[in-house]
Amino acid sequence: MRVDGRKFDELRPIKVIRNFQKFAAGSVLIEFGETKVICSATIEDKVPAFLKNSKSGWVTSEYSLLPGSTSDRTARDSTQGKISGRSQEIQRMIGRALRAVVDLKALGEKTIWLDCDVIQADGGTRTAAVTGAWLALFDALLTLDRKNKKFPITDFLAAVSVGIVNEHVLLDLDYSEDSHASVDLNLVLTGQARIVEIQGTAELEPFDFSILQEILNMAQKGIFQLVRIQQDFAGEFFHNLLTVKGFNDSVPE
């Protein structure tokens, strides 16, 4: 058993508070156990210069650890004069992950900003941010006038971490586990179980392909549960516009 009593293949308790911010087009507070991230979506009627007159939209992200989110105070990027390398890496990951499930032509010449601010960090902030950003994006797009227009989201999207700690493969690591993991991997999948991104590394010793397959199988099962939460979030709208085809047959028992 793990420190918090979970089974090896068990997610932390997931909680979503919808419409967390008054002025955002879409916003949620998403919690993966003690990790808490505010994800908000803002719509701008303009696009980056390279997309002008393209009739195509854009989805991008900003990510930050807020002061007080970690045991030692995390300084704001603005006071450092530059975005930290870690923040830059994660916000790029969030943006490209969400673009994988958005029809940018259907969006039109609009930019969706997804701001992911960690108010409490206990491991898995980037995976919580990806999963929560999809929820915020979904609600934001519901506010657009869709007369005779295709809904821009094409699929669900969620992410989870898996690691090896004390020779055990564990799903959804908290900080105490992540800081001692010999292998650390983040997986982003669509609702049809298609891979968007894999980030993985051996922190100590290299590992073989059989272990990788075990890690991916466990991650897939965890993401399946997160997608179910997104399905419930989307409600009746999901039944009309979104489908999940990949998991029922492909998730290992």
Separation in Å, CA 82 to CA 47, 75, 79, 94, 196: 23, 11, 8, 19, 28
Q: Give residue 242's pLDDT.
A: 57
Average pLDDT, the chain: 91
Q: Give residue 249's pLDDT.
A: 45
125 is in an annotated binding site: yes
- Top pLDDT among 75 and 12 is at 12
Average pLDDT of the residues in 163-178 = 95
CA–CA dist 94, 131 (Å, integer): 9
Give the least confident one: 19-33, 150-164, 169-183, 225-239.
225-239
At residue 250, does pLDDT exceed 50? no
Quick one: pLDDT band at residue 203, thresholds 50, 70, 90? confident
Average pLDDT of the residues in 243-251 = 49
| DSSP three-state, residue 121 | coil
The position carrying tokens 């967390």 is 20
Give me the domains of the chain, ranges plus CATH numbers.
Answer: 14-250 (3.30.230.70)
60 is in an annotated binding site: no
Q: Give residue 173's pLDDT.
A: 97
Contacts of 159 (CB under 8 A, 6+ apart): 97, 126, 127, 130, 131, 186, 187, 188, 189, 197, 223, 226
Percent of the chain with pLDDT over 90: 77
pTM for this entry: 0.92
79 is in an annotated binding site: no
73 is in an annotated binding site: no
Looking at the chain, how many residues does it have?
253
